[in-house]
Amino acid sequence: MSNDYVPILTDLSAGELARSSDINLRYSYTVSGFDLLPQPRTDGTIGFLGYFTVQEPTDASHPATKNFVETGVTSQLVLAQTAATNAGTSETNALVI
């Protein structure tokens, strides 16, 4: 899986000889990923001092906010209810003729 920080890497297969450069590259990407996290809390509680900002996704692999998902589901529900109402009206009109 590729993202903004780690390019696509070839998979290491089971039983295949892993070169030290393969391991070092993956390790450096792991370290750089953790470097992007906010600083941990120092008051003994679990969590971070900073916050992660999740915005509306612009790509299929981006995280989505709860509001973004619920708005999309609600709009699809309204469209489905409108279509059902229109179908019922069409059926009633067809029976009248």
Domain assignment present for residue 50? The answer is no
Domain assignment present for residue 69? The answer is yes
Total number of domains constituting the chain: 2
Domain assignment present for residue 14? The answer is yes
Domain assignment present for residue 26? The answer is yes
22 burial via Cβ count (<10 Å: 0-12, 13-18, 19+): middle
Domain assignment present for residue 15? The answer is yes
Q: How confident is the model at residue 1 (pLDDT cuts 50, 70, 90)?
A: very low
pLDDT of res. 97: 61
Residue 58 has which token pair?
């612009």
* pLDDT of 7 strictly over 70: no
Query: For residue range 19-75, what is the model confidence (pLDDT) as tens digits?
Result: 888 888 888 888 887 777 777 788 888 777 776 666 677 777 677 777 777 787 788
Domain assignment present for residue 70? The answer is yes
Domain assignment present for residue 56? The answer is no
- Enclosing domain of residue 17: 1-39
Q: What distance in Å separates the CA atoms of residue 60 and residue 62, rounded to the nearest whole number? A: 6
> Is 9 in contact with 25 (CB distance < 8 Å)?
yes
Domain assignment present for residue 52? The answer is no
